[in-house]
Structure 1
């Protein structure tokens, strides 16, 4: 029964996200949504129509499936009549286009450019008060108190989930981490109705469709509109739900503003991006997320993870759903070997040592699709008498800095190699550099150093130097 009101400026509606939202609202027939457009015709730098002519606004909203009232925004009877129409309307969202004049009622402000963000001087304030039919001694403190108390609700308790792998799970077959994520999302969604999933027309690729098919009442399809999709997720989380938004990791780059503002507002939002790096192969550079870790790791308080196999992806899905706060999960697209037993756990801020000995001469940190490559390189190096320790660095943030430093000190090594399907800046290599800064340990980074092209997974990983052969060659060149 609740109504949601959105106040828009006529400059703001230049933004594509506004029309992403308008299209979705009309499609879903959200008749509890009311938008109010302040059509004051002045923006920061010029008159609105000199920047982008947005008319006819009423016809545009009608074309998007909205009911519309266009009124004189300074006429209180017209305003009241418009809200009467809102309450009588059903089956469609409603927009009030209010024609107004910026600075209305103040002679030296009315209709004037270059007043955006300009505070009045003391004498101007007194002059404005004298021209307006309002009291100069407004009780601002009580207004602020009223705002702070409005809409407050008790923060729900963190959820607890049981991440039990499917009964038909076959560890002998290579499987895609994104498929594990889809399986986990479906199963965990059955355990807690606070879990909601939001998609952007790629759910059959991200495997979040498995949740949608099992729990359709808690699934929202937003179409190819990532900025609005993320904003919907933030809104869903604000109601006390655990919101999960899904897309190709590359496509989330279109919504970095909305993602950061969601994190800033402490949204309990889970961003899950699949199709990461050059390992997606033939789809090419437009689909490859190469710089995502740099952005997400930069966000204060964010959790960033990259599972390497089916088991870790399944278990880490539960981990981020249980975690109260903003999380980013980087999902591998292709089939990879199963590395872990079904009872393995993956706490945040830790890593897994997959191969080690007392004779190890160096440490190799890998994440995601490069973990099997690191294990293969280690086997080849062992055949040549060189032992290296292989670590699955699944938790990119929080990063297990202290443990890694102790690992290096305990082993007595001064060489750490990182290998990742990502650009060299902002990812695993930089996390290791930050952890080992000042320790005397040298970090050798293997990463994609140029804009990638299309090709097979194996060919691209070889071309950009992030496969087993490249790692073996780098280790040999450094240690020998």
Structure 2
């Protein structure tokens, strides 16, 4: 590289460091030292290798830059300033009320694909974006992910590393800022880039170890990453935290703090200079993707009275949806034969993605694919989605539209025992910001809700049941999200039973038995657990004064507490029947009985009201 270019890149890196110091100083908080270590890496990437149109963030050929080490946001915002995307005034609004420049990046900025800051997530999401580029978009964009060395302790990083190696994602490069220091002290491997290289190589990655402050070495490594075939690349760059300022350079105790003397630091970095504007290389011209093929939707039809598992209905409905919409994709955690997502895999193998038993990577890839406009459905056992709770939480922060499906929910699964029972999932998913939580009780209802999820914004969750349940709804009935279905009601009702999923059938059976004894009760199928049909619940609470909720879930945070939140101010009596003891192995019928959520338990609860 010519000396003139090296000087330009050094000046650009110094500007990025100065702006990181200034932004953090103006905010009185932030992570300038973590930004300073990676400034040379990002200067060379921005000026020489990134292909991006900042005026058109959605251009199909744009590269994707993900800051997995999201706390280095001052550096990212300094890059945006250098590219002319934001002003110096906006840069100095960092972390202030109302600013788009939040403490960790979010898609409030149009150039940010996903929120980061929960470490270990950027690379897994990048894998999803890269998989979309290679197998779905078939567009030659490159995905660059800036990682910190500390986050390489996260297991999700290695789930991503294995998936990327297995898929041969040559369009993915991890740039690892090996600055030796974490939040409280040295990292596990310090500056031993070879330790990281051996691990990445074991997963099938091409690796390059460089001095992360040498623009020539950085340029070579980034060029090399562009040219590698059939393998992802990891650039392992030895750097110094706080590079360029003697008071903090490679010193412990400076993490996450603005510099004590910003003016002195800026002077040491060469002072304020006329802003260097970078003409970022435009993306490769690519043909605009053809419109997504759509055809009439032909959902499966299930006959009244037949016994069909809702997981089976999900699989058939998803396959049908995939036939009608070419943008629908399915992701599996090696349980497609059980969740019944295999029906989609058989019908649309080119849009089915296997992540094996790596639930964090599966959810992260769903987030990455929706960045590119795809409509992902990710399915596994309800219990195993808890592994990915932080990824689901961060999906909401990312404003991501992802659809999650949890099968084998509750004690109803029977003999497999408690390790396989999803008993926390409703609580977990209800707590996610802006989420939708659906729990159908029959096959036709399930099919309609799968369709509704496809265009639902945010994080949506469908809970399905292992065992077969009776079909009680006609195939032409609709089930709007946010509503419920009143199955039984009369002016003489002693109470209203509110149920969802498998317990709807127990509630109907109990209501029938009580009616034979002259006791009338209402039954509500609360298939939309979030958002709730508050009006219907409040009407039932006002009419009978007694609500009995029945759920195949722990009592904390599930159906009962959702109902109580809607009616508490009316003062009705709310009895919550839920799983309260640790189950063992037993038949489904025995499990429901032992948990106190079967028809007998419901009938006894009603009688105690008399």
Indicate whether the TM-score tops 0.5: yes
Partners of 1:89 and 1:302 lie apart in 2 by 40
Equivalent in 303, 326, 332 of residue 436 of structure 2 = 303
Cα distance between partner residues in 2 of 1:51 and 1:5: 23
Match of 1:467 among 598, 604, 607: 598
Partner of 2:269: 132
The question of whether the paired residues in 2 share the 8 Å contact of 1:161 and 1:318 is answered with no
Structure 1 stretches lacking a partner, 5+ long = 147-153
Judging changes above 3 Å, is the alpha-carbon distance between structure 1 residues 7 and 245 closer, same or farther for their aligned structure 2 residues?
same
Paired with 1:314 and 1:424, the residues of 2 have a C-alpha distance of 28
Deviation at 1:441, TM superposition (A): 1.3
Kept in 2, the 8 Å contact 1:163–1:318? The answer is no
Q: Does residue 1:166 correspond to 2:300, yes or no?
A: yes
Shift of 1:337: 0.6
Partner of 2:585: 454
2:503 alignment partner, one of 370, 386, 406: 370
Match of 1:191 among 324, 330, 343: 324
Q: After the TM superposition, which residues 351-366 of structure 1 pair with which residues of structure 2 at under 5 Å, given as runs? A: 351-366=484-499
Q: Is the Cα contact below 8 Å between 2:411 and 2:588 reproduced in 1? A: yes
In structure 2, the gaps of 5 or more residues are 1-139, 281-287
Q: Residues 460 and 250 of structure 1: is their aligned pair in 2 closer, same or farther, counting only changes over 3 Å?
A: same
- What's the CA shift for 1:157? 11
Q: Distance in 2 between matches of 1:474 and 1:157?
A: 55
Alignment: residue pair count: 463
Contact 2:405 2:463 in 1 (8 A): yes
Q: Residue 161 of structure 1 contacts residue 188 of structure 1 at CA under 8 Å; is this kept in 2?
A: no
Number of the residue aligned with 2:464: 331
Alignment of 1:431-450 (within 5 A): 431-450=562-581
C-alpha distance in structure 1 between counterparts of 2:459 and 2:231, whole Å: 33
Q: Which of 85, 93, 108 in structure 1 is aligned with 2:247?
A: 108
Q: Helix, strand or coil for the counterpart of 1:399?
A: coil
- For the residue of structure 2 that corresponds to 1:56, the secondary structure is helix
Return the offset for 1:90: 0.5
Q: Is the 8 A contact 1:351 1:393 kept in 2?
A: yes
Q: Aligned partners of 1:201 and 1:315: how far apart in 2? A: 25
What are the Cα deviations for residues 329-385 of structure 1, in whole angstroms up to 9, with x where unaligned? 111111001110111110011111222333222111110000110011011111111
Q: In terms of mean alpha carbon deviation, does 47-56 or 318-327 score higher?
A: 47-56
Deviation string, structure 1 residues 111-145 (Cα, Å, up to 9, x no partner): 10111101113xx2122222224x525659x89xx
Separation in structure 2 between the aligned mates of residue 116 and residue 343 of structure 1, nearest angstrom: 60
Which residue of structure 1 aligns with residue 348 of structure 2? 215
Shift of 1:431: 1.4
More displaced 10-residue stretch of structure 1: 80-89 or 270-279: 80-89
Supply the distance in 1 between the matched residues of 2:375 and 2:239 (Cα, whole angstroms). Answer: 40
> Would you say 1:94 and 2:228 are equivalent positions?
no
Task: Tell me, in whole angstroms, the C-alpha distance in 2 between the residues paired with 1:160 and 1:331.
Answer: 27
- Structure 1 residues 250 and 324 mapped into 2: Cα distance closer, same or farther (>3 Å)? same
Task: After superposition, give the CA deviation of every residue in 1:413-449 in whole Å (9 maximum; x if it has no partner).
Answer: 1111110101111111111111111213111110011
Contact kept in structure 2, 1:163 and 1:315, CA below 8 Å: no
Q: Match of 2:17? A: none
Instruction: Tell me whether 1:401 sits opposite 2:534 in the alignment.
Output: yes
Cα drift, residue 245 of structure 1: 1.0
Give 1:163 shift. 5.5
Which residue pairs with 2:115 in the alignment?
none
Contact in 2 for aligned 1:364/1:418 (Cα 8 Å): yes
**Contact in 2 for aligned 1:38/1:100 (Cα 8 Å):** yes
Aligned to 1:151: none
Asked if 1:417 corresponds to 2:548, the answer is: yes
Does 1:20 pair with 2:156? Answer: no
State the shift of 1:237 in Å. 0.8
Give the Cα separation in 2 of the matches to 1:105 and 1:220.
45
Bigger drift between 353-362 and 170-179 goes to 353-362
Distance in 2 (CA, whole Å) between partners of 1:353 and 1:195 is 32
Question: TM-score when scaled to structure 1?
Answer: 0.92
Paired residues for 1:278-297 under 5 Å? 278-297=411-430
Q: 2:259·2:265 contact (CA, 8 Å) conserved in 1?
A: no
Q: CA deviation at 1:265?
A: 1.2
1:104–1:111 contact (8 Å) kept in structure 2: yes
Q: Work out the CA distance in 1 between the residues paired with 2:530 and 2:219.
A: 52
* Alpha-carbon distance in structure 2 between the residues aligned to 1:217 and 1:76: 41
Cα deviation, residue 219, structure 1: 1.5
The separation in 2 between residues aligned to 1:52 and 1:7, in whole angstroms, is 17
Instruction: Identify the residue that residue 36 of structure 1 maps to in structure 2.
Output: 175
Q: Is the 8 A contact 1:162 1:188 kept in 2?
A: no
User: Can you list the C-alpha shifts for 1:442-475, whole angstroms capped at 9, x where unaligned?
Assistant: 1111001122222111111101100000000111
Distance 1:238 1:416, change over 3 A: same
CA distance in 1, matches of 2:555, 2:357: 29
How far is 1:71 from its partner? Answer: 0.6
Q: 1:248 aligns with which of 359, 378, 381?
A: 381
- 3-state SS in 1 of match to 2:216: helix
Q: CA deviation at 1:291?
A: 1.4
Tell me the C-alpha RMSD between the 2 structures: 2.4
Q: Distance in 1 between matches of 2:368 and 2:462?
A: 20
